[in-house]
Amino acid sequence: MRGEDVRPEPSGPEHAAARHERNTPGILQLAWPAVVGNLAFATVGIVDIKIVGSLGASAVAAVTTGHRMLWVLQAVLIAVTAGTTAMVARAWGADDRAEAERVTRMSLLVCSGLALFLSVPAIVYAERLAGIFELDAEALGQAATFIRWLSPFNVSFSITMVIGSAVRAAGDTRTPLLIGLVTNAVNVVLVYGLVYGRFGLPAMGVAGAAIASGLAFTVGALVFLAMWLCGGLILRVGSGVAMTRQRIRQLFDIGYPAGLEQIAMQIGFIAFLWIVSLYGTAPYVAYGIGVNILSFSFVVGFGFAIAASTHVGQRLGARDSDGATQSGWHAMRLAIAAMVVLGAGIILAARAIADFMIDDPEVARLTVVFIYILGFVQPLMAVEFTLGGALRGAGDTRFPLLTTLAGLVVVRASLAGVMAWLGLSVEWIFAALIADYVVKASLLSWRFRSRRWQQIQI
């Protein structure tokens, strides 16, 4: 027996970094499940567009518009999850499981209530929301239908966002991957069935695509809730009072800049899309298809952003500021390498992919142009994703807001507007994306290098 030789592990701040180093997975271990899950989600997005694309360009425009408007309404939910990630990661890095569980419980209640509240205006004012864009009558009506049918599922979406964000912040990215794969499989089957009327389901067209996505999110939410309530997640339900004034204030202080950033981002996207829509339905549809195709590369960046956010937050919680800095730069380098390789592959196959996605020569041509332009900025997007994620994990959500305002709202939208006023072709409007990402990557690199984000207290 060597029981008498077992000594308790030293405690205190001087040992937190060492414990964290032993217990926290590396960047790649955290990133790969998120990358695989996001790639699966992107694949489903492509399949959905392909299925809906058989209904015509107006149907694709409707789905693109519907998703864009719903992301505006869900900016508040993203604000909550940004605060959740930072607070849970800090608590977990400081070995305070109980606090991480209380933050998760509080965030779930707040986010679900907000989601329910936001569903009402989306349903009531669906036509007005879709009417922002210069779409033809058929696309406008279908977009309103899509928004109206998908909005009631906002609560399900919020549950998957909060629990998934909290679990990832605690270092488990594999469970959200598995639940995401189930959700995606359900989505594909239901989209095919409800759009075309297969498997004994009614043929509902664009409305069927919205309902299918909503039901798939609901399945994912129910699985998350069941595992959480039964103790099957790394974070349990926990005990104690969750809804305290201090905790809610912390969530608000961290989250509201992220929410404003999402609102600014969506306003910038909408302004840019509105300018594109002035050139007709074909460029508008090409934008939607091109973004979905290149999402295979984007989601890799999102995966590394999640890993960077988790690592940086946990290392700061363990009072390892140098380790937090190294994690951010390491995640950025890995993301750049991966996104460049994927982006190059998509560029090389752009024509074949565009022709496969839609049977419209002009839309396919413009899709290829858009892919070339957006593929060119993949390294800059990798910088934005990872360093932005690292800053948010540290609780620095204000600077990414300012970066989005400068790059997307001021530079991209303004430059596109000037080009349209000068009467330049839509290809020049697409090219305004390059300036946007140059500005954002430069500002975020400067901020992360300054280390001012390490001074933020949670």
Residue position matching structure tokens 């022709």: 355
- As a whole number of angstroms, the longest Cα–Cα distance in the chain is 85
Q: What is the DSSP letter of 393?
A: H
Please say whether the beta carbons of 169 and 92 come within 8 A: yes
Q: What are phi and psi of 358, to 5 degrees?
A: -150, 145
> How many helices (DSSP H) and strands (DSSP E) are in the chain?
19, 0
Token duo for residue 35? 């990358």
CA distance 168 to 440: 25
Please say whether the beta carbons of 381 and 339 come within 8 A: yes
Q: How far is CA 447 from CA 262, 263, 309, 400, 441, in A?
A: 19, 22, 15, 9, 10
Question: How would you write the pLDDT of the chain (458 residues) with one tens digit per residue?
Answer: 333 333 334 444 444 444 444 444 577 777 777 777 767 766 766 677 777 777 777 787 777 777 766 666 666 777 778 788 888 888 888 888 999 999 999 999 988 888 888 888 888 888 887 777 667 777 778 888 888 888 888 889 889 889 998 998 888 878 988 888 888 889 889 988 998 888 888 888 888 888 988 899 899 999 999 999 999 998 998 888 888 888 888 888 887 787 777 777 777 777 888 888 888 878 888 887 887 777 777 778 888 888 888 888 888 888 888 888 998 999 999 999 988 988 888 889 888 888 887 777 888 888 888 889 888 889 999 999 999 989 988 888 889 889 988 988 888 888 998 999 998 988 899 899 899 999 999 999 999 999 998 887 76
Sign of CA dihedral 259, 265, 268, 274: negative
398-408 in b/e form (b: 16+ CB < 10 A) is bbbbebbbbbb
